[in-house]
Structure 1
Amino acid sequence: MVDIRSAALSAYRTAMQSGSINGVGGVKPLSKASPASSSFARAVDTEVRRQRMDDPIATARAEETAKHFMKVQKPFTETVTDSLHKVNELDAVKTSMIEEFASGRSQNVHELMISLQKAGLAMRMTSAVRNKVLEAYKELSRMQF
């Protein structure tokens, strides 16, 4: 991981030694060159690059994280289908628990209420996702290409 404080201090020291910053009056006026081409900016870039190369573990960890997020684990349609099946299962469990409680086979009110809440929440989330997808579709259909 790059320590920005040490990078800035090192760049400041380098800039002081190169003479682009004078000790009394502050920064010397730059020519018409862009600020990115100042010796201070170059020193900061150099120090950040050096610190990144000094820490191969952080570099490897960053590459591994990037690979993890870049790979597609399963297609979107499969994810949506699995989610809809799960919502359907929760609704079926809710219905069977209501029937068991109504017939007197089960006396556990707590589990019944939990299953009702799970099924209701899953249905509300599914409706919210559906509404967002429809909203996005309407927005895309209004776009002119």
Structure 2
Amino acid sequence: MAIESIGNQTSIMANPGYRNALETTPAQASSSFSAWLNDAVGSLNETRTASENMTTAMARGEDVDLHQVMIAGQKASVALETTVEVRNKAIEAYQEIMRMQV
């Protein structure tokens, strides 16, 4: 059994575009983080709305699979718990930075 060589390995540090990607201004970083946060909250809201719609449809007696309703509910619950924990960690990091002595 022959072992093939992996080939030429190049570091991502050698890529000139990599350095430019790391050199962002605080305004760009803030804008990027804000966009990511808005997308995450929007996704959370969509998950919650889908779960609510499925639960309402089941309560009305529509033909909805109970398993799918439960899965949607758990997805919404896990998404909310994750969002709360990320918020808690962000607040904790902020408080830690504020306690630093300059």
TM (norm. structure 2) is 0.73
Q: Pick the aligned partner of 2:10 from 53, 59, 82.
A: 59
How is 1:6-85 mapped onto 2 (pairs within 5 angstroms)?
57-59=8-10, 63-64=14-15, 67=18, 70=21, 75-85=32-42
Look at both structures and tell me which one has the larger radius of gyration over its CA atoms.
1
**Is 1:98 aligned to 2:55, yes or no?**
yes
- Cα distance, 1:142 vs structure 2: 1.0
Query: Structure 1, unaligned stretches of length 5 or more?
Result: 1-55
SS in 2 for 1:107: coil
Residue from 89, 92, 95 that aligns with 1:132: 89
For residue 3 of structure 2, what is the aligned residue in structure 1?
Answer: none
Match of 2:99 in 1: 142
* SS of the residue 1:57 aligns to: coil
Counterpart of 2:80, as a letter, is M
Compute the displacement of 1:62 (Å): 6.2
Q: CA RMSD in A?
A: 2.6
TM-score, structure 1 normalization: 0.53
Q: CA deviation at 1:58?
A: 1.5
Structure 1 residues 61 and 128 mapped into 2: Cα distance closer, same or farther (>3 Å)? closer
In the alignment, structure 2 segments of 5+ residues that lack a partner are: 1-6, 25-30
User: What is the distance in 2 between the residues matched to 1:122 and 1:60?
Assistant: 36
